[in-house]
Amino acid sequence: MNKSVKITYFVHGTTTDNEQGIATGWSPGELSGRGKEQSIKLKELIKGKKFDVVFCSDLKRAIDSAKLTFGNSIPIIQDKRLRECNYGDLNGGDSELVESMTLKCIEKPFPNGESYKDVEKRIREFLKNLLEKYAGKNVAIVSHRGPQLALDVIIKGINWEQAIAEDWRAKKEWKPGWDYKLTEKVVSV
């Protein structure tokens, strides 16, 4: 029998860093007033969806978003593998500079940080564990840009350049959750 997990991916709410043009990276980050409102509003937008568990990055902005959206209604499990890409020396730096380096840092790490391929490796490991322990379940993930792009690469089978080009942030096409289906075939690649 083919095991699978239904994943709905949510991005954390807007942070004060986002509003100031700062690339938070591995820094904790603080939700702005707008980000708190987004996370609370998300609760209403997904009212009909049922989840067995919520996973979130262990960075403060993702934890706070998950708590505001899901409250105590469902277990929330923090996992450091769901962290944003480590921008190294550029954590807390200018987001335009980080953005300008994105394509160059698919394979090559940010200075004293990691590459997007490193993020993909973390997410692949997370997905293998997810399939082992949560087959047949509906799972929510609250995380960041890098891990979402890694899901696109892994589950949709596209390359990093395509995932970056199709990123909703560039198109301004936010929606309340992106759905993915994780199967054994995906994690065995």
Res 176 pLDDT > 70: yes
Contact criterion met (CB below 8 Å) for 120 and 154: yes
Sheet containing strand 4-11, strands side by side: 76-78, 53-56, 138-143, 4-11, 178-183
Residue 186 pLDDT: 80
For residue 61, being part of any structural domain is answered with no
Closest CA to 177 of 150, 144, 140, 136: 140
Q: Tens digit of pLDDT for each residue in 2-11?
A: 799 999 999 9
Q: Tens digit of pLDDT for each residue in 98-120?
A: 999 999 999 999 999 999 999 99
For residue 82, being part of any structural domain is answered with yes
Q: Tens digit of pLDDT for each residue in 49-93?
A: 999 999 999 999 999 999 999 998 899 999 999 999 999 999 999
For residue 58, being part of any structural domain is answered with no
For residue 11, being part of any structural domain is answered with yes
Number of structural domains in the chain: 1
Residue 173 pLDDT: 67
124: tokens are: 């692949």
Closest CA to 113 of 151, 141, 83: 83
Residues 6+ away with beta carbon under 8 Å from 186: 127, 154, 155
Res 174 pLDDT > 80: no
For residue 87, being part of any structural domain is answered with yes
Cα distance between residue 46 and residue 40, in whole Å: 11
Q: Give the CA count within 13 Å in the CB-facing half-sphere of 21.
A: 3
Per the structure, the complete domain to which residue 26 belongs is given by: 4-48+68-134+144-187
Cα distance between residue 165 and residue 94, in whole Å: 20
CATH number, domain at 76? Answer: 3.40.50.1240
Residue 189 pLDDT: 58
Q: Tens digit of pLDDT for each residue in 112-159?
A: 999 999 999 999 999 999 999 999 999 999 999 999 999 999 999 999
160: helix, strand or coil: helix
The answer to pTM > 0.85 is yes
Cα distance between residue 165 and residue 79, in whole Å: 27
For residue 60, being part of any structural domain is answered with no
Q: Tens digit of pLDDT for each residue in 31-59?
A: 999 999 999 999 999 988 999 999 999 99
Report the amino acid identity of residue 47.
K
For residue 100, being part of any structural domain is answered with yes
